[in-house]
Amino acid sequence: MSKLVAPHGGGPLKPLLLPRTERAEEIRRAKKLKKVPLTSREVSDLFMLAMGAYTPLDGFMGEQDWRGCCTEMKTSSGLFWPIPITLSAQHASAASIVAGSEIALADPASGALLGAALLALGLAWQAALVGDDPHTPPCRGERARRRATGSGFA
């Protein structure tokens, strides 16, 4: 029996990085997709998702999880999660992304693909301004931006 502490949420660790044998094909595929540059925070979040550090999340948060995180510090499943893990995009870029499409996540400085990170878009949504409610410290004063919810990474 392992003496390691179980991952948050009680399930198995969920690293989202594809196995090495599958990466080359995904890199080729990602080169044909629309590139969306990430902020430095989002690059960090992407790496954390890839290595499983944000288990049990299986991608960037959708609107329900984001809203629950900001108002109750819980995901939509009721799991304690006080920090929103979201993907933003400039309004013009987000407006050109069609729900259900895939995008490549790019380094903000070089434009290079970050490990051929792919995001299957389920829904693009406009986050509501949270305001200065002291009961929602992680989201306090967050500006409304276009968000996208993700489901997998290469």
Place of tokens 């949504």: 125
Show Cβ contacts of residue 99 under 8 Å, excluding neighbours closer than 6 positions: 121, 122, 123, 124
pTM of the complete model: 0.74
Q: Ramachandran region of residue 59, left (φ > 0), alpha (ψ -120 to 50) or beta?
A: left
> What residue ranges define each of the domains in the chain, with the CATH number in brackets?
26-148 (3.10.400.10)
pLDDT in tens, 64-80: 888 898 889 999 999 99
Banded model confidence at residue 129, pLDDT cuts 50, 70, 90:
very low
C-beta separation of 61 from 84 below 8 A:
yes
pLDDT value for 1: 54
Interstrand relation of 113-120 and 34-37 (parallel, antiparallel or unpaired): unpaired
